[in-house]
Amino acid sequence: MHSDSSFSELVKEFDRKGWLTGYNCVVFKDGSIRALCRWDRFGNHALPHNGHSLGIALQGNFETNASVPYSNHNGKYGIQSPTDKQIDSLSRVTALWAILHNVPLKFEIENGGKVVGIIPHNAIANKACPGNNFPYQAFKLKVEQYHKLWNGDEGFKEALEVFKTMPYVMP
């Protein structure tokens, strides 16, 4: 999918591939976030981890190694690195999910292969995403910053409690 594709084009492509419920949301290069799957449901993106994971798609293809199938080494699929706005939005939605569902701020798989935190798709599936050009350290730092900021904000905590009472939120 090209990074200039519209949301409706993305939905058509995901539907054609059977991925429509594969991701909870997609973050576009302008930083906008569009839901694909209800927030009280898990996507079908990383067997056998679907029952306890959030799937986020990013507009663009950040794999630039030409030896990787479907890589974007020549820019065929548009942007080769996520935009600053994408990283910010991705970090916000990830920090929110972590707070909402008590996900530990761990960014690795523990010994024995147990997933207990926030990891990229390629750590648990035979996929290249998010790609070798994804700024994982910058993402990690932003998630930690939002998590710390929001955990110390009483107004945020109150708003989150109200949000939890709304339909489509997991217990």
One-letter amino acid identity for 64?
T
One-letter amino acid identity for 141?
L
Beta strand pairing call for 25-27 and 33-35: antiparallel
Average pLDDT for 140-145: 97
Confirm if 135 and 87 have CB atoms less than 8 A apart.
Answer: yes
Task: Give the pLDDT band (50/70/90) at residue 171.
Answer: very low
- Tell me if residue 17 falls in helix, strand or coil: helix
- Best CATH choice for the domain 7-164 from the list 3.40.80.10, 3.30.1330.90, 3.40.50.10420, 3.20.20.70: 3.40.80.10
Q: What is the pLDDT of residue 58?
A: 92
- Tell me if residue 169 falls in helix, strand or coil: coil
